[in-house]
Amino acid sequence: MKDTIVLGIETSCDETAASVVVNGRKVLSNIISSQVDLHAEYGGVVPEIASRRHVELILPVIDNALREADVTLEEVDAIAVTYGPGLVGALLVGVSAAKAIAFSLNKPLVRVNHIEGHIAANYIAHPDLEPPYVCLIASGGHSHIVHVVSYTEFRIMGRTRDDAAGEAFDKIARVLGLGYPGGPAIERAAKDGDPKAFNFPRVNFTDAPYDFSFSGLKTAVINTVHQLRQKGEPLPVEDICASFQQAVADVLVDHTVSAAKEIKADTICIAGGVAANSQLRESMSQRALKDNIRVLYPKLILCTDNAAMIASAGFYALESGRTADWKLNAVPSLKIGESG
């Protein structure tokens, strides 16, 4: 059987990325140009700045991916691109580039949901992984528990009702003056803190037991910080970070393992930027082990936004006949499982 080579393109937020992947699993190249330093002074991503930077970087990044993979555009079998969710201006840069390449070469154009791309990162990291399983996707913009029924079929079991987990990390880091991005900054500080120093809230819903809410937790942490500052008391940053991080991990782990047990899944995958958090990985593995459920997660480079995961998801979409026409547009509010 002939190998299928997919060029993946990702520009949903502040990473300009391109990757060449064979048969959805073998990565030949994975080029990521991050804008973290560019946005750090603003404490978060500025959409207009991100879009302009994507325009500057998209073609050099694609060229680098092809060069590192030692593959020509003519040898590529399909072009896969993130078309949502994300920042509309940023998405349009990647979609426009993908459409131009696919049209000029008469190659299939494959649209990929960014959240489904995060799920596919685990296929690269774990070649033996096959659906069905449960996947927790936790990032700056998304927090979902998904029953992955097949490579292209997904059933949402839980989702955030307000802030995503990664968004909460960023906001708390900003209040504590730890900089951007918040996830790594809080994790570093938490290493020297006591996770039991503060009893921050863990929210549960009786009507939807696998849904998340992090706004109350965020407010509780911010109020604690403000009260300590108003009283002129020392601010135990490490303890606050450790307690906050533990609260987030407890909820993510509890809901995900409970969802897996309900459908009798023997595998849990973690994906998205928050999947890089060592406390979440350790807590999930320890809890799932008690129920004989294995826990898988990608390498750190595949947790953040990247194009290898888009190429992988694109491969399985292509196999199922899910290609796009030249009318493909960015869908910034795209939901998982939607065709857009």
pLDDT at 151 > cutoff 50 = yes
Rounded mean pLDDT, 180-209: 94
Q: Is 244 helix (H, G, I), strand (E, B) or coil?
A: helix
CATH architecture of 5-120+303-319: 2-Layer Sandwich (3.30)
Nearest to 186, CA basis, from 242, 124, 131, 255? 242
**Whole-number pLDDT of residue 96:** 98
Q: DSSP for 45-103?
A: --HHHHHHHHHHHHHHHHHHHHHHHT--GGG--EEEEEEESS-HHHHHHHHHHHHHHHH
CA dist., res. 234 & res. 225, Å (int): 10
CA dist., res. 179 & res. 263, Å (int): 40
pLDDT at 18 > cutoff 90 = yes
Per-residue CA distances from 47 to 51, 61, 280 (Å): 6, 20, 29
**Whole-number pLDDT of residue 188:** 96
Nearest to 244, CA basis, from 268, 270, 267, 214? 214
**Whole-number pLDDT of residue 289:** 95
Q: Is 262 helix (H, G, I), strand (E, B) or coil?
A: helix
pLDDT at 245 > cutoff 60 = yes
**Whole-number pLDDT of residue 45:** 83
pLDDT tens, position by position, 67-115 = 999 999 999 999 999 999 999 999 999 999 999 999 999 999 999 999 9
pLDDT tens, position by position, 160-176 = 999 889 899 999 999 99
- Average pLDDT, rounded, for the chain: 95
In sequence order, the β-bridge partners of residue 34 are 15
Question: For residue 195, what are the contacts with CB-CB under 8 A and spacing of at least 6?
Answer: 242, 243, 245, 246
More confident site: 216 or 47: 216
Backbone angles phi, psi at 242, to 5 degrees: -65, -40
Token representation of residue 254? 């509890």
Confidence of residue 339 (pLDDT cuts 50, 70, 90): low
Q: Does domain 131-298 have CATH number 3.90.1200.10?
A: no
pLDDT tens, position by position, 24-69 = 999 999 999 988 777 877 777 888 898 999 999 999 999 999 999 9
Rounded percentage of the chain residues whose pLDDT exceeds 90: 89
What residues does CATH 3.30.420.40 cover in the chain? 5-120+303-319, 131-298
pLDDT at 340 > cutoff 70 = no
CA dist., res. 208 & res. 308, Å (int): 33
Rounded mean pLDDT, 313-333: 96
Cα torsion angle, 313, 319, 321, 327, sign: positive
Token representation of residue 202? 């863990």
**What is the pairing mode between strands 15-22 and 26-34?**
antiparallel
Question: For residue 290, what are the contacts with CB-CB under 8 A and spacing of at least 6?
Answer: none
By the 8 A CB rule, do 59 and 97 touch?
Answer: yes
